[in-house]
A and B are shown apart, each in its own frame.
Chain A
């Protein structure tokens, strides 16, 4: 017999007492069927020469809008807003009650920041870059001679940070308690500020998980910047096509996919039984499960990239060339898993921050059927966007004769991800 774990298992998401209902088979089959149909239609019907022009496309916004967006006053105001929100968060975390039901700090981190960045970045672009309080902190004492971040680093530190954050959210015991949150914050601050002292503010674009997360999601925003710096309205496909192929992109996308998938898995009674009866103890087992989910997502993608390389020897970087097409799929996963959390716990967190004691959870905005439709629609839409993005990239990179064949491994991968995503919603 092993000793009992002294600490309770964490709730998934850290906050929130209610989980989404498992999907009924009807919605699951409907979604899976649509995904398959769209994939094969896309294979046969989509264009045969690349259409997306990345960061050269887009309709410029009127000059006054651009001037307003670029004005130093706007930037300073956003910086101050971010700093004020961070101070408010710290004040609640340090001075508020150590109880997630009465302190808005955990909800602010796990719901308002982590989930709220999804709609904010989708609508407005990389907002966290503008609000990031670390940038405000650094601007107080900028390093005199910042060194450039080595090109090989890419966004790998941020991918690692994303994985650590997901571990904190989904696995760490007591992840809404003050000591745990303070420890996590201290680690985050230390890594970010030490890096920034050496490399300047550019470090955040490579290493701050929230900034990279927001920037990646903002690739799908209709609001963006052209290569020449003009603020534009664009098709999300062009934004997606312009995703910089930095080292670590694959890792970051796979972390997003894998951790969100693990979140779905962690509701499954069989996995709960495994956790509770495992001789390793629940936390190590859950950590292994999280790592396995990320490894599975990455392994599938690696397999696919290897097949692509076999099909086309000229493809120099099969891994990064198609990583952007997984972003919409990850976004679909995020929406499907976190929509109701944001809709229910988000307002409650704001009410708590506004001083309401015993803030009630607002009623979910969608009934069970509406939520099921939204979840399946999010996953299938992500799939469709991914298929289209991958198609365009492959007709650009492959010789025309092999373009259709070249897409097959990618489509198989996307269908696997999509069916897996829907399967996790049933589980």
Chain B
């Protein structure tokens, strides 16, 4: 029997990220500026109050102008989003080069000013692997028109894990399973030609170092670049440090102690118990079932600071404490 399920702790990947989307409302989005009621102050209005009364009016007018200017930049005739107008079909499709990529797709050259660019950043996932985020410029993911003609600024990305093509990305976020050493993201047009500038494909390469090596857990690399990736250093296992714990009766070997971890570091707990039980990491709320005599492993990224206990549910033993600084 296990304890009632413990709550998962949903966390935004970074405190600044999602909040920034909602952070600052445009001045016009806050509704009409408050104005004092007309009938409430029949007497003579003091000078200070009169001046204050004009300020909201001016602010409201300014907000209205800003709204008008921001909402319909450029032409005011239609409301096509950028890249969806009727004139798109005549867009600049670039020039085909003779060069091909590993799988035989030809390169499609654009002048540097029109060529898209891509940047990627990866952060370790708490359950293994990496969450990768792409930042593209002058480029839109167009899954709906894949296979169509090449239009500048449209297409998809292909993901090459350790040099082998693994998947396509039709959006900015995806996950790379653990075990990968390098990740190359290359931009393709809808007709599967490679976007290129100055004769080189538009791509970026990440070295997926285990987070123990880089506490910030991010390895952004340069934007559009075709430089061959420097051979990655022989990366240690992506599971980080390993802690072996054996539970016999009510004896824990080694005796409960504190494991000091840096924030972002990964740790693998390998627990062997002499009876069926569940091991639980408090705070992270990670669990693993224990079968008698069989080691169970639990890998986690220590991404919250604090002191967390690793406990068995049935026997109620504290196995160790994780000290994350």
**Given A7-B316, A360-B9, CB of A277 within 8 Å of CB of B250:** yes
Contact of A5 among B250, B306, B321 (CB under 8 A): B250
Contact status B250-A2, CB under 8 Å: yes
Instruction: Please indicate the chain A residues that have their CB under 8 angstroms from the CB of B315 in the complex.
Output: 4-5, 8
CB distance from A285 to the nearest CB of B (A): 12
Nearest to B308 among chain A residues (CB) is A18
| B258 & A269 in contact (Cβ 8 Å cutoff) | yes
The smallest beta-carbon distance between A385 and chain B, in angstroms, is 28
User: Chain B: which residue is nearest A281 at the CB level?
Assistant: B250
Are A17 and B282 in contact (CB-based, < 8 A)? yes
A363 & B15 in contact (Cβ 8 Å cutoff): yes
Asked if B318 and A276 sit within 8 Å, CB to CB, the answer is: yes
Report chain B residues within 8 Å CB of A21. Answer: 305-307, 323-325
Describe A's contact surface by its main secondary structure: loop
Q: Quick one: CB contact mask for B109-150 with A, threshold 8 Å, 1 for yes?
A: 000000000000000000000000000000000000000000
Residues in B neighbouring A402, C-beta threshold 8 A: none
Residues in A with CB closer than 8 Å to B252 are 273, 276
A19 to B308 alpha-carbon distance, docked (Å): 6
Closest to A20 in B: B307
Known: A19-B308, A20-B306, A360-B9. A4 touches B250 (CB 8 A): yes
How far is it, in angstroms, between the C-alpha of A16 and the C-alpha of B166 when the chains are bound?
A: 42
Is B313 among interface residues, defined by CB-CB distance under 8 A? yes
CB of A101 within 8 A of CB of B316, answer no
Interface SS, B side: loop
Asked whether A17 lies within 8 Å of B318 as measured between CB atoms, the reply is no
Shortest CB–CB separation between residue B283 and chain A, in angstroms? 4
Assess whether A368 is in contact with B305, with CB atoms less than 8 Å apart.
Answer: yes
Query: Are B282 and A276 in touch, CB under 8 angstroms?
Result: no
Per the bound structure, the CA–CA distance linking A18 and B321 in Å amounts to: 11
Complex contact A267–B256 (CB within 8 A): no
Q: Which of B7, B255, B309, B320 contacts A19 (CB 8 A)?
A: B309
The answer to the question of A358 belonging to the interface, with a C-beta cut-off of 8 Å to chain B, is yes
* A20 partner residues in chain B, CB cutoff 8 A: 306-307
- Kindly report which residue of chain A lies nearest to residue B251, judged by CB atoms: A277
A5-B316, A9-B318, A269-B255 are contacts. A17–B305 as well, Cβ < 8 Å? no
Cβ contacts under 8 Å, B15 to chain A: 363
How far, in angstroms, from A274 to B233 measured CA to CA in the complex? 45
Q: A2-B250, A18-B306, A19-B308 are in contact. Are A368 and B317 (CB under 8 A)?
A: no
Question: Does B230 sit at the interface, judged by CB under 8 A?
Answer: no
Question: Could you tell me if B283 and A17 are in contact, using CB atoms closer than 8 angstroms?
Answer: yes
- CB-CB < 8 A to B282: which residues of A? 11, 17-18
Provide the residues of chain A in CB contact with B307, threshold 8 Å. 18-22, 267
B250–A273 touching, CB < 8 Å: no
User: How far is it, in angstroms, between the C-alpha of A286 and the C-alpha of B6 when the chains are bound?
Assistant: 25
Nearest 8 A/B pairs, CB to CB: A8-B316, A19-B307, A17-B282, A18-B306, A99-B4, A9-B316, A18-B283, A17-B283
A residues engaging B (CB < 8 A)?
Answer: 1-2, 4-5, 7-9, 11, 17-22, 97-99, 101-102, 267, 269, 272-273, 276-277, 282, 358-361, 363-364, 367-368
Chain B residues close to A by CB (< 8 Å): 3-4, 6-11, 15, 249-252, 255-258, 282-283, 285, 304-309, 311, 313-318, 320-321, 323-325
